Structure formats: C-alpha cells, structure tokens
Amino acid sequence: MIKVALPNKGQLFDPTMDILAACGYRVSKSLRSLSTLDSENQVEFYFLRPGDIPLYVSNGILDAGITGKDFVAEKCVAPTCLLDLSYGASKLCAAVPEGHAATSLADLKSARIATSFPNIVRGKLPGNQLVELEGAVEISIKLGIAEAIVDIVETGTTLKQAGLRIIGEPLFQSRAALFAHPGREGQEEVLTLKSRIEGKLLAQEYMMVEYDAPEALLRAVCAITPGIESPTVMSLEKAGWFSVKSMIKKRESQKIMDSLAKLGCKGILLTSIDSVRI
C-alpha cells in the first residue's frame, strides 16, 4: 500500500482526477474528505493543498504526489520527478499597472513586489522588498501595498481585468508532474502508477491505422506505417491481398491516410487508442 498526494483544488484538481480515473484508479473526493482508499490498486490518496504536497513527498510522509513544478521550486525541496504531465502549464510572470514605466525585469530593481512565490522571486530578483501573500496577488497594487506583482499566469485574463500588464520574460515556467520520495520510485505500486499514467499520455499521441493492401504494395505501405517494431501483416481470403495494422503518430495520421489511399489501399480505418505500453 502506498500513499499518494493529490491537489485538493485549483486548475490541477480536475485533470488529475480525470487521468487517474482513466488509468483505472478508484478515486473520488467528497466535500469534506481528506483521503480515499483504493484497496483494489493498493493506493491511499490524500487531498492536499498543491503547495504543501512537495513537503509531504520530499520528507517521506507520503510516497508520491502530483503537483506543479512551481510549487516544488518554491518549497526548495527535491522530490524525484518521475513523469511530466500534459496539463497544468503556467508561467510565473512579473506585472505592473498599464501606466507604469517599467518594460523589463531590470526596471523593477527597487520596486516593492507582492507575490505568493517569495523564494523563486528572491532567486530571480534579489534585493527587492517582497510582500508575501497567500492569494489574490493582483489586487495588492490597487490596495497600495505593492508597486508590482509576480504571479502565476495561465491566460492573462485576470491580469488584464485588474489593469495590469506583463513585463519581461517569465521567472519560471511550470506544468504538473508526478513526484516520488527519493528511494521509493522503485516501489511496485509507484511503478504501476507511473506506467499507467505514462501509457495514457502516450496514447494521446498515437492512433491505430488498419487497411487492406495488395501484395505488390506491401513494401511501400510498410515504409509509410512502420509501427513501433513493425506493422502487423495478415493475409486475407482474397488472394494477393493483405491486412496491415500499425500504430502511427496522431499528428501525422491524416497525411498517412492520404498517402495510403493514393497508393491504392482499401478500407483504411483510423481508431483512437485508450492506453499503450511501448
């Protein structure tokens, strides 16, 4: 039995719950629940603040967890990153009021900055006076406690609504990831968790193509759809014709179908893949 931390709210919550459910885990959160047991898969899930998860995992209180890389960097801890996930992309950016003269990070040298990520900001903007806040950072300038902010940006809509604009390059770029306590990444249940999620993410990049091809075209079509090791080729009842099945990259799938059709293949089918192990 392993203990795994999950974000209890925010932009990471829904996609984390979705991917775990798609991977066969029995995980659900009621309004007041802090944990849930999946006895079938030998996992106990704990719902925690995303910013607290790095501490629980790095200190070995929990075996693994899913959270943003920005939260790990802010806590200055080093759990083992097992797998980058396909969601939770964000940037930690500096912003000032629309009428402010600053155009780069260097222009904030003497500014008072409000942020929820003081450790990251100190590393990037040493010497600035920081106002540490738990949330709603964008309102701090209007309330007069800061001249600039550094905050997580997803779309930038919230900043625009607050009359702010981003300046300079992002101080940190983040996405969700699966972490483990150093030394526990080899536990059977942790390896299974990683393998299932990895298989689900890989399946999003591939599709399965199936088609019928005459024997004279086999060499050419197999070159177009080589598969992972090699395509599956089976003879049909119709003499001289074969059925070919192969995994292909999703982004290339339509061009591949076009090429197969032009060569003379028949019955070309394209299907999604739910999960995969490569």
Position 154 scores a pLDDT of 81
What's the mean pLDDT in 24-48? 92
**CB < 8 Å & 24+ apart, contacts of 51-54:** 51/75, 53/5, 53/7, 53/179, 54/79, 54/179
Position 158 scores a pLDDT of 84
- Tell me if residue 192 falls in helix, strand or coil: helix
Strand 112-115: give its sheet, edge to edge. Answer: 129-132, 112-115, 148-153, 90-97, 164-174
pLDDT for residue 259 is more than 80: yes
Write the pLDDT tens digit of every residue in 53-108: 999 999 999 999 999 999 999 999 999 999 999 999 999 999 999 989 999 999 99
Q: How many helices (H) and strands (E) does the chain have?
A: 8, 15
What is the C-alpha radius of gyration for the chain, rounded to an integer number of angstroms?
A: 25
What DSSP string runs through 105-142?
Answer: GGGGTT-EEEES-HHHHHHHSTT-EEEE-SS-GGGTTT
Which two tokens mark 180? 């483990």
Q: Which CATH class is domain 90-174?
A: alpha beta
Domains 2-87+175-202 and 205-272 alike in fold? no
Tell me the domain boundaries of the chain: 2-87+175-202, 90-174, 205-272
Position 6 scores a pLDDT of 97
Chain centre to alpha carbon of residue 53: 16
Which two tokens mark 30? 């009621």
**Confidence at 278, pLDDT banded by 50, 70, 90:** confident
Those residues whose C-beta lies under 8 Å from the C-beta of residue 17, and which sit 6 or more positions away, are 6, 27, 28, 29
Pairing of strands 64-68, 80-84: unpaired
**Confidence at 157, pLDDT banded by 50, 70, 90:** confident
Write the pLDDT tens digit of every residue in 188-232: 999 999 999 999 999 999 999 999 999 999 999 999 999 999 999
**CB < 8 Å & 24+ apart, contacts of 32-39:** 34/8
Please report how many Cα atoms fall inside a 13 Å half-sphere around the Cα of residue 245, on the Cβ side: 8
* Whole-number average pLDDT of the chain: 94
Q: What is the pTM of this model?
A: 0.87
Residues in the chain: 278
**Nearest of 265, 243, 261, 255 to residue 207 by alpha carbon:** 255
What whole-number percentage of the chain has pLDDT above 90? Answer: 90
Position 218 scores a pLDDT of 97
Residue 252 host element (H or E) = none
CATH code for residues 2-87+175-202:
3.40.190.10
Residue 45 host element (H or E) = strand 43-48
**Nearest of 159, 170, 259, 172 to residue 209 by alpha carbon:** 259
CATH code for residues 205-272:
3.30.70.120
Those residues whose C-beta lies under 8 Å from the C-beta of residue 143, and which sit 6 or more positions away, are none
Rounded-to-integer distance, Cα 91 and Cα 175, Å? 9
